[in-house]
Structure 1
Amino acid sequence: MGSFQGHLLPGSLFLVFGVWWAYNIFFRYFLSLRGGGSGGGGGGKNWRRRYRSTSTFGSRCCPKIPIEGILKVVVTAIGITGEFVTAFKNGKFTHLGNAQHMTMYFFFGLNGVMDVATRYRLPLPPDVDYASAVLAFLAEGTLFFYHLHGRTHMDIQVHMMLFYLIACCAISAMAEMCRKASVWPALCRAFFTLYQGTWFIQVGFLLYPPLGMARWDEEDHSQMMIVTMIFCWHAGVIFVCMALLARLVHLRVKCMSESSAYENLHDLQGMTRMDPEQVRRMISDESEVEDGV
């Protein structure tokens, strides 16, 4: 990763996964709210409780294939291969930094394997996909924390900021594993993954500026203060972008036909397929039972 391209690749991957997670979390949440609002009364409340987070999300075009898990395995395998090939000098494995990067890729690849295994319901402990994600973030954070010896002050600063974001990703994934019925831990996971992605790319521009860009003085205190402001601006921009994405997803769900909305809701929750009239009848029955109680 000691190059601009080395920071651009993982940053882009975190960006892609962050956007994908944010979109699907909002889509599932607003679908659940729409189902909750259709019946009114107690039935609506019961439908709201049907929102449930998952560590990965399926694709509408290939619903039976764990796209996320397979993508993680393929990308990390490519990353490990690239780091291994470039680690040799005069026939000897001399670049220990590459070995650390290979270790990081391995844990995210392991998370991909667990995602695939969970999708195909192999006999594994519950939430092993979440646990492997937490483990991957913890391993990444540990490697970055002890990756700073002999670096310049700005280099240490930007990587410590990255370490904080990685820790937030791990905490968010752990909270989501424990609170799947709440949308907030899931949104935090998406937010900090996006944040990590944009900051990875920003670090590439700061430490390894592409041709034609001026280099930063990595020992200048005033420039380090500017870096701190840039770090905060990233948070604000990502928050605004996620708010706009939420609005767009809400409009999409709001404009969906009733049959399409219920079909998507059933698919997301793994429920038996019912037509809209059956769903309305079920919600009405739930309301009458609760009123009788």
Structure 2
Amino acid sequence: MGSFIGHVVPGTFFILFGMWFIYQTFMRYFMCLRVAASSTMSEKYRMRYRNTSTFKCPCCSSLPLEGILKVVATVVGMIGEFATGFEDGKFTHIGNAQHMTMFFFFGLNGIMDIIQHYRVPIPPDMDFVSAVLAFSMEALLFYYHLHGRTPMDVQVHMLLFYVVVCCAVCVALEMCYKSNVLPALGKAYFILLQGTWFYQIGFLLYPPVGQEWDQNEHSQMMMVTLFFTWHNATIFTLMSIAGSLIYLKVKTLSYAEIYEHLQPRLPRLGKLDEEQAKNIILESDEEEA
């Protein structure tokens, strides 16, 4: 990971997952609100929204694509770190071993997602627990990964450490308060921030073009802090815009389309009128409860 590409690759995956979680969380939340608002039992179903650690892909809801992607990505990452950790025929780069360990925990989270998808009898919420474990181990490894680094190197990775801790906290809150959308949005926010900050670290420490930064210069380190605040402002603004656009989109959907999105594993029933689709959504939710 000690290169520009080594930061861009994990950053890309975090950005993609962050955007996916933002879209799916807003879609589910606004759809649930619309069903609740139109129901004669609106008070009962107002908190119908439920957090889940993963979302089903509408195009292939029978497969745990999120879990599969996590496993594939982490395996590729571990192979890459292992292959580049040798020098003169000996594995000498301990930093690569730490990165491989970090990848392993996210791969374990992907396996838990797959197991949960196929309803294997394991303790509940293991997908959430494994995600908290993965982010916690990532934070631990980054915190003790900075010995002998330059001041700017330590600074950018400590900021990343704080973001990863926030990811772990949000996932834990998401697991404990499944009817509250805020922890889910917080998780999406910090995962996206983690991805963009990985990119920023790559450009700061390993710039592919232009002049290298003076990693001991105080004024440039102040700029790094400023960049971090700009990342936060940009992501918050983009999430606000995305939420507004998704809200407007949900208002245009028919109840049949809402039914198909909220219940992707159930058979499609063809054209439904509004009352039929609404009743099916509410009945299926009551069965899950």
Match of 2:147 among 146, 149, 156: 149
Q: CA deviation at 1:110?
A: 0.3
Equivalenced residue count is 280
- Structure 1 runs not aligned, ≥5 long: 285-293
Runs of 4+ in structure 1 off by over 4 angstroms are 270-275, 279-284
Distance (whole Å) between structure 2 residues aligned to residue 130 and residue 176 of structure 1: 8
Distance (whole Å) between structure 2 residues aligned to residue 139 and residue 3 of structure 1: 22
Distance (whole Å) between structure 2 residues aligned to residue 279 and residue 136 of structure 1: 39
Distance (whole Å) between structure 1 residues aligned to residue 281 and residue 53 of structure 2: 28
Distance (whole Å) between structure 2 residues aligned to residue 229 and residue 283 of structure 1: 47
Match of 1:242 among 239, 242, 245: 239
Q: CA deviation at 1:271?
A: 11
**8 Å Cα contact 1:153/1:218 also seen in 2:** yes
CA shift in 2, pair 1:266/1:85, >3 Å:
closer
Equivalent residue, structure 2, for 1:102: 100
Within-5 A mapping of 1:111-260: 111-211=109-209, 213-260=210-257
Q: CA deviation at 1:139?
A: 0.5
CA shift in 2, pair 1:249/1:90, >3 Å:
same
**8 Å Cα contact 1:39/1:283 also seen in 2:** no
Distance (whole Å) between structure 1 residues aligned to residue 45 and residue 182 of structure 2: 18
Q: CA deviation at 1:283?
A: 10
CA shift in 2, pair 1:282/1:252, >3 Å:
closer
Matched, 1:90 2:88: yes
- Three-state SS of the structure 2 residue aligned to 1:151 is coil
For the pair shown, the structure with the greater C-alpha radius of gyration is 1
Equivalent residue, structure 1, for 2:4: 4
Q: CA deviation at 1:150?
A: 0.4
Q: State the identity as a percent.
A: 55
**8 Å Cα contact 2:27/2:246 also seen in 1:** yes
Give the TM-score, by structure 1 length: 0.91
CA shift in 2, pair 1:252/1:92, >3 Å:
same
Equivalent residue, structure 2, for 1:15: 15
- Structure 2 runs not aligned, ≥5 long: 283-289
CA shift in 2, pair 1:204/1:242, >3 Å:
same
Equivalent residue, structure 1, for 2:61: 63
**8 Å Cα contact 1:169/1:189 also seen in 2:** yes
Distance (whole Å) between structure 1 residues aligned to residue 7 and residue 160 of structure 2: 12
Q: CA deviation at 1:280?
A: 5.4
Distance (whole Å) between structure 2 residues aligned to residue 261 and residue 283 of structure 1: 8
